Amino acid sequence: MQEGGCVQDHATEEKPAVVPARAKQAGEVRARWPWVKPEVWTERMLTALEEGVQGGKWFSLIDKVYEPGTLRLSFGNVKENNGAAGEDHQTIEMFEDHLEENLSRLAEELKSGRYRPRAIRRKYIPKPGSQEKRPLGIPTVRDRVVQGAIKMALEPIFERDFHEESYGFRPGRGCKDALRRVNGLLQEGYTWVVDADLKSYFDTIPHDRLLQRVADKVSDGRILELVEAFLKQPVMESMKSWTPESGTPQGAVLSPLLSNMYLDPLDHYLARKEVAMVRYADDFVILCRNKQEAMEALEMVKEWTAGNGLTLHPEKTHVVDATQKGGFDFLGYHFERGYRWPRKKSLHKFKDTVRGKTKRNNGHSLQKILLDVSATLAGWFEYFKHSHRTTFEPLDQWIRMRLRSILRKRQGGKGRGRGSDHQRWPNAFFAKSGLFSLTAAHEAARQSSRR
């Protein structure tokens, strides 16, 4: 291992973690860790996790990774997530055609120490509402399977101590939990907000410090070597290969866990300072009672990020008063003056999706179009249903206009649906035909919440 990374004494790495001889009543500990795979983490291991292992470090974990059952479980997750082929052009279906042979080969390579990650395929995807593009790293299927197995072995160790105000890519937590917390703090009077943005976070995490985060709790040298190998695996871009000196690629199975590991000390640091931060992966806001507290919190974050090799985006990081015009964005919502609604980028993305399904030359039957559009509307509403009531009616009107435009064209007309089209195909026509109504769904949700 390289200096500054994870140098370990191989004489000690095989020393097993101290596990209590008798775990608590059968099923009691397991019930508190429902998401942990029993094939990877036994009840005795979970008991040790809760009570703490000697020295605070876990030693022998590699055998959990190369266990065929673990690799098989990991492949199931890879298949469910359905990603694209990596640099070797092997699809999930191709890997599955020879599943047992492939898993057996991986197990043997991992057990013998011969396993080496292959190059990552670089791909760029559009950022909603921006001219910039987001870089994705697409590992091969075999590497995704191995990363998933490592994640199963490592995640409980770090999840045990992750801070409560971290919500991204964690079991049993999600965007809605983070949004509820933000809304609750705003209602409690924490209306001065540090709206922060880490510049190219996933591409700039220092490898040596990230590896040390892992080594703080894991002393299995084989695991540490694998994590380092994944961080330094080559990237294929435009037919050329290069090796990253920092960062963990978005798109890799391990990246969300590693990114949370690196920012977890910031969560605990601010909590000790009694600063309320809500974080979802690298997206976070800090909520304070007054401007002075917010400015002090911003200085704390600036100092911490600078000391940990990260950079706050100077143009996207600022302090705002959420009770005034302007507000702030977080996880797709815009918060301002006691209300919230979809931020502009979220609306643009939503409208682009609907436009794609309601082109005037759409050759499908109206019923099929309505079913397709309604599925999109229902899913979108489930996330944005807490928006201010004025959000929904204009969107319903716009959607019906696009549907009328389709019907108008089918009768030989041109342009958008307008004028007499409203009498020919009134709102009731679409409601009767099964079109999902955002306005009606919002009203039903409000009535339900009052009961």
* Predicted local distance difference test score (pLDDT) of residue 16: 39
Condensed to tens digits (0 to 9), the pLDDT of residues 354-399 reads 999 999 999 999 999 999 999 999 999 999 999 999 999 999 999 9
What does the pLDDT look like over 64-123, one tens digit per residue? 999 999 999 999 999 999 999 999 999 999 999 999 999 999 999 999 999 999 999 999
**Does the structure show a pLDDT above 70 at 263?**
yes
Rounded-to-integer distance, Cα 400 and Cα 435, Å: 9
Residue 320: is its pLDDT beyond 90?
yes
- 128 versus 108: which is more confidently predicted? 108
pLDDT of 408 above 80:
yes
Share of the chain above pLDDT 90, in %: 85
Cα-based distances in Å from 346 to 136, 236, 258, 381, 440: 21, 31, 27, 12, 21
The confidence band for 285, taking pLDDT boundaries of 50, 70 and 90, is: very high
pLDDT tens across 216-240, in order? 999 999 999 999 999 999 999 988 8
In 3D space, the residue among 66, 144, 62 whose CA is nearest the CA of residue 106 turns out to be 66
pLDDT of residue 451: 64
**SS3 of 245, please?**
coil
Strand partners, 276: 287
- The CB-side HSE value for 22 (13 A sphere, CA atoms) comes to 2
Residue that the structure tokens 């920012």 belong to: 263
Q: Count the Cβ atoms, other than its own, within 10 Å of residue 178.
A: 23
Token look-up 């509820």 returns: 180
Q: Which residue shows structure tokens 């800090």?
A: 286
Place of tokens 């409203």: 422
Query: What pLDDT sits at residue 378?
Result: 98
| Coil, strand or helix at 166 | strand
Indicate whether 252 pLDDT > 80. yes
Evaluate if residue 11 carries a pLDDT over 50. Answer: no
- Number of Cβ atoms within 10 Å of the Cβ of 327: 23
Q: 182-213: per-residue pLDDT in tens?
A: 999 999 999 999 999 999 999 999 999 999 99
Q: Determine the Cα–Cα distance for residues 175 and 221; give it in Å rounded to an integer.
A: 35
Q: Mean pLDDT of all residues in the chain? A: 92
**Residue 122 to residue 238: CA distance in whole angstroms:** 8
